[in-house]
Each structure stands twice: as structure tokens, then as C-alpha cells.
Amino acid sequence: MKNILVPTDFSDNCERAAKLAIEIATLFKSEIHFLHQLHTPVDWVKLDKEKESNYPDTLAEIGNAKSKLRALDMEAEHKGLKSRTFLQFVSDNQAIVEHSHDFHHDFIITGSKGTEEGFLRKLLGSNAQKIIRETRVPILVVKEDKINFPFKNIVFVSDFKEDILSAFKKVEEIAKECSAKAHLLNINTTSDFNSIENGLEPITDFLKHFPNLENYQMHVYNEADVLSGIKKFEESIDVDLIVMYTHSRKGLSSIFSKSIAESVTNHSQKPVMTVHL
């Protein structure tokens, strides 16, 4: 986590995400980039300077965006971070992907109110898997709940039936830096309903790959679906971060399809991090 991208539309949740990103960058000594996309009525980059005055509303929007980006930049620099800001005169997912590729970001943090508004629609909407697949970096989405950082309780949701070592290494890294407890949650759905003991067995086998992990707890819930299992877990534990994973591979029997990862991100009010395998 050395180069963090923070796409922002300056909404309350994106501002909350930016503040979290600054705290995370401070903890991990990361560089941080703030990106805002602005849709303009004409191709602003190619527009003659003399003609810009014909679009006073756009000029005002640009000035406001630059001011807000500068404020974020100054806040990051005040923490001793290396920070950069970017204003793009486009509004599409591919531009975010290309920017992330060009600047070699290894983490993306943004905010959203839910399925209808904000960058969640860009990052985790209909084009979610395309962006996650192409960026191949973890994406952390901040919602409306108060954020507790450093995180104290991180839940990693999995059926522990496939190779997810790389995904959990991200959890282990964050948990170590935050001195957080890692909760490994296996949800038995109606399609694979079995005993609690059988649900714990794959977690126990999985943990053999992480002999240095000490602050953790195993959980097995029997629920009709993953989303309801996570909701029930949130009622029993004060969760600070939910971690899911997704992948582009097909033909796997994993309960963690692309749509489930998106659904959890859309509906949970807790920060949700999606890791690509």
C-alpha cells in the first residue's frame, strides 16, 4: 500500500473516504493521489482560452473543484505525505482505470451513499468487475456509518474452499498495522448447509498458512445467503471493515460470485474492501 488513489466527487461520503485515506496513508507511509472528474459541455482541454469565458458556469465549477482538491492536498501534506491532485474533464470508468494504471496505484479508496449515487455507481455498479479486474488492486468503499480507524475488528468473508491466500494477506497486513482482530467468517448457505464443526474445518486448515497470525477469531453462520449472514454477524460484532474478494475466473463453485461481492458493498453501511484474486 504505497500509492493510494482517492477518486472523489466531494460528497460527504467521499470527503469521509478522503480523510480515511489520509489516515491510512499516514500509517503506511504511502503516497496519495486525489482525482476528481468533471463533465464539461465541450472538450475543455482543446478549447481556446479566449472561448472559456463563454462558459462561466463551467469556469466556476473548475475553480471550485481546484479549490477543494487543493484543500485535500494541503491536508495530506500537513500529515507529511507526498500528495498529488488531478482534475479530469471526463466522466467515465475507463478514465479511472487508465489513470490508476498510469500511476501504478496499489489501493483505491472512495465513498458512496449506496447504489444510486456517488462513485460507487462508477466503481461498483454495472461496470464493477471490469474496473476491479483491470485495476487489480483492492478497492475500499466508505459508506455512511462512522469510521473507526485504526480498525479494531476486520471481518474476512469466505467459504475458504479456494486459493484466497493473496486476499487474506491484505487483511493480515492491515490488521497488523492497526493492531486489529481478524475475524474469519464462513457462511453456510442453503446450498451447502452443514454443521458448525464442518464449517470451522476449512478455516482451521486455511490458518495453517498464517502461523504468525495470533489476534483472530473463527466464525460460522448458517444463513440463507451471504448478505443476511454478514448482516447477522454485524449485529454481534462491532465491525470496522468488511473484506470480500472477487475474481474473473469462471466455473468455480464459490459462493462469492461477482454479484454477491457487489451486493454486500451496495447494502452494508460499513466500509467494504474488495480484493481481486
Query: Both 120 and 205 in a single domain?
Result: no
pLDDT tens, position by position, 238-275: 999 999 887 655 444 444 555 566 677 777 788 989 88
DSSP calls for 91-124: --HHHHHHHHHHTT-SEEEEE-SSSSSSTHHHHS
Whether 267 contacts 201, CB under 8 Å: no
Taking CA atoms, 134 is separated from 28, 45, 256, in Å, by 24, 26, 19
- What is the pLDDT, as a whole number, of residue 224? 81
Domain edge (last residue) among 142, 167, 186: 142
Predicted confidence band of residue 114 (pLDDT cuts 50, 70, 90): low
Query: Does residue 76 sit within a domain?
Result: yes
Query: Both 138 and 17 in a single domain?
Result: yes
Domain edge (last residue) among 142, 167, 195: 142
Query: Both 136 and 239 in a single domain?
Result: no
pTM: 0.87
Query: Both 135 and 190 in a single domain?
Result: no
SS3 label, residue 185: strand
Query: Both 114 and 166 in a single domain?
Result: no
Query: Does residue 147 sit within a domain?
Result: no
Query: Does residue 21 sit within a domain?
Result: yes
Domain edge (last residue) among 142, 162, 179: 142
Query: Does residue 148 sit within a domain?
Result: no
Query: Both 191 and 247 in a single domain?
Result: yes
Q: Which is more confidently placed, 74 or 226? A: 74
Query: Does residue 53 sit within a domain?
Result: yes
| Residue 138, pLDDT above cutoff 50 | yes
Query: Both 191 and 92 in a single domain?
Result: no
Whether 259 contacts 124, CB under 8 Å: no
Count of structural domains within the chain: 2
Quote the CA–CA distance of 211 and 216 in Å, as a whole number.
11
Whether 123 contacts 110, CB under 8 Å: yes
| Beta bridge partner(s), residue 109 | 140
* Segments forming the whole domain that contains residue 159: 153-276
pLDDT tens, position by position, 3-51: 999 989 898 888 999 999 999 999 999 999 999 988 888 888 888 888 8
- What is the pLDDT, as a whole number, of residue 124? 46
- What is the pLDDT, as a whole number, of residue 190? 63
Percent of the chain at pLDDT exceeding 90: 44
Per-residue pLDDT, averaged over 110-116, amounts to 66
The CATH number of the domain holding residue 33 is 3.40.50.620
Per-residue pLDDT, averaged over 228-236, amounts to 89
pLDDT tens, position by position, 59-104: 999 999 999 999 999 999 999 999 999 999 876 767 887 888 889 9
Query: Both 40 and 125 in a single domain?
Result: yes
pLDDT tens, position by position, 163-217: 889 999 999 999 999 999 999 999 887 655 567 777 899 999 999 999 999 999 9
Query: Both 8 and 134 in a single domain?
Result: yes
Query: Both 194 and 243 in a single domain?
Result: yes
Query: Both 123 and 163 in a single domain?
Result: no
Query: Does residue 272 sit within a domain?
Result: yes
Query: Both 247 and 209 in a single domain?
Result: yes
